[in-house]
Structure 1
Amino acid sequence: MFVPLHDGVPLRFMRTPGVTYGLIGACLVLRLTLRLWPGQEAELAIMAGFGMIPSVLFGTAVLPEGLAHLPPWLTLFSNVLLHAGFAHLIGNVLFLWVFGDNVEDAMGHARFLVFFFLCGLGGSLFHAGMHPDSEQPLIGASGAISGVIASYLMIYPQVRIWGLAFNWIPIHIPALYALGGWILLQAAAALLGADGAIGWWAHLGGLATGAALTPLFVHRNIALFGRGPVRS
């Protein structure tokens, strides 16, 4: 387990990563709203109605009357901003806080916002494809943030990151090792079927989507892996 704390990379093209801050704020507000919602049953109903349920998405199951708040295809996006608890939220927010600002800086506000939700879409679809009969709602920004991690790794592989290994050992190592190790952990967990309550395949789908989209979304003078401009 790796917890990022700081990377020290200055912004080059903007003063404030407003989209990153806005996404973090939206996730926090929604989590607080759900926490203060009267009754656990009401909170679970929100999770079911706005989370992405693979069997509902593919039409093999139907939500009970009163729970279908959105068309199933829209839950591919709405699930990204919901979190099951504060531990789930804080873990995602830390990664977005440390890496999101630099990726937003490399793409621009509007493109980063689109990129974020496309990565969430890729993660949700990959999870649904691997668990088509599941009736458990998928919620959380992990798929989208995995895409951000893939993009950061492509842009800043040699930047040294401050973080905690195994949640308590201080480390200061290049992103290639810190995030590369994190990616290997996600792949191993998905393949071994670890902890079914975590959407490991959504993480991998978000990673793949982020890696594929990054060359199309970054500014033309941003180098990937130090190999020169992305686009001519």
Structure 2
Amino acid sequence: MFLPLHDGVPLRHMKTPVVARSLIAACTLVHLLFVFGPIGPDEMVGGLGLIPAVLFGFETLPEGYPFVPIWMTLGTNIFLHGSWFHLIGNMLFLWVFGDNVEDAMGHLRFLTFFLICGVLASLTHALASFYVAGASLPGTFILPTPQRPLIGASGGVSGIVAAYVILYPRVRIWALFLGGIPLRLPAYWAIGFWFAVQFVSAFFGADEGVGWFAHLGGFIAGAILIPIMRHRYDPVLARAAAQELQTPR
């Protein structure tokens, strides 16, 4: 659908996006443990994934699960991924967009921003599944089932995507669209297309195994938080970056 490749926006306030790269390293390490570690994938998901029915007390897991207090699974699930493709896709978004958002916030604020967006994304997913558990909806709507675990960093990443498009709406980014078509489009077009896909997929019956509502919740959280949490953003520099990247070379 949409896979970002490169934006070329230079960092202006830091040399290295330490937190963005550390998050990529942490998610990769956890996935290696997920695949090759002594605890099997099912046990990892049961121990650290978010299961809405368990979170809200409808169901319980066997003794010893989850590995952390139930409320903490709103955050621990962020670092688990179901496959290498799932991991690489999320980390590519974090690599392309995370450095400039971290540059606008600073290290600590960026880490806090990512975690808040991830937790609120998880909560949005859980509430959506909680609603469908007790509601009768039209047949075209397919909301997440409360027994299905949620894992993945895409909620936090969606918050970063929202922050990026607010900070740099006119910067042109290279991305793959619709199964592999390379295009260079302004961020507001590319990310607007991505958001439209998430919205339609969430409400009108796409793959039930994808946390579409987590994506929406993370994006909305990021859009709300970025005006509050940014402290190194200069709109003049943002326009200059966009103009510089649009200049033929």
Alignment pair present for 1:196 and 2:208: yes
Of 163, 178, 188, 1:166 maps to 178
Residue matched to 2:140? none
Residue matched to 1:127? 125
Give 1:105-184 correspondences, 5 Å limit.
105-132=103-130, 133=133, 134-184=146-196
CA distance in 2, matches of 1:192, 1:170: 27
**Residue 126 of structure 1: SS of its match in structure 2?**
helix
Post-superposition Cα deviations, 1:136-169, rounded to whole Å, max 9, x if no partner, equal 1100000000000000000000000011112311
Post-superposition Cα deviations, 1:3-62, rounded to whole Å, max 9, x if no partner, equal 1000000001100000000000001011111111357xx210111110011111111111
Residue matched to 2:4? 4
Contiguous gaps of at least 5 residues in structure 2: 134-145, 240-249
**Residue 56 of structure 1: SS of its match in structure 2?**
helix
Of 87, 92, 100, 2:85 maps to 87
Post-superposition Cα deviations, 1:66-106, rounded to whole Å, max 9, x if no partner, equal 22211111001100011001010011011000000000000
What is the TM-score of this pair, normalised by structure 2?
0.87
CA distance in 2, matches of 1:6, 1:20: 15
Moved more, 107-116 or 125-134: 125-134
**Residue 218 of structure 2: SS of its match in structure 1?**
helix
CA distance in 1, matches of 2:174, 2:9: 11
Residue matched to 2:36? 36
Residue matched to 1:230? none
CA RMSD of aligned residues (A): 1.5
Alignment pair present for 1:96 and 2:94: yes
Residue matched to 1:22? 22
CA distance in 2, matches of 1:27, 1:220: 27
Contact 1:3–1:167 (CA under 8 A) maintained in structure 2: no
Amino acid at match of 2:164: Y
What displacement does 1:221 show? 4.4
Residue matched to 1:214? 226
Q: Segments of 4+ in structure 1 off by > 2 A?
A: 220-224
Contiguous gaps of at least 5 residues in structure 1: 228-232
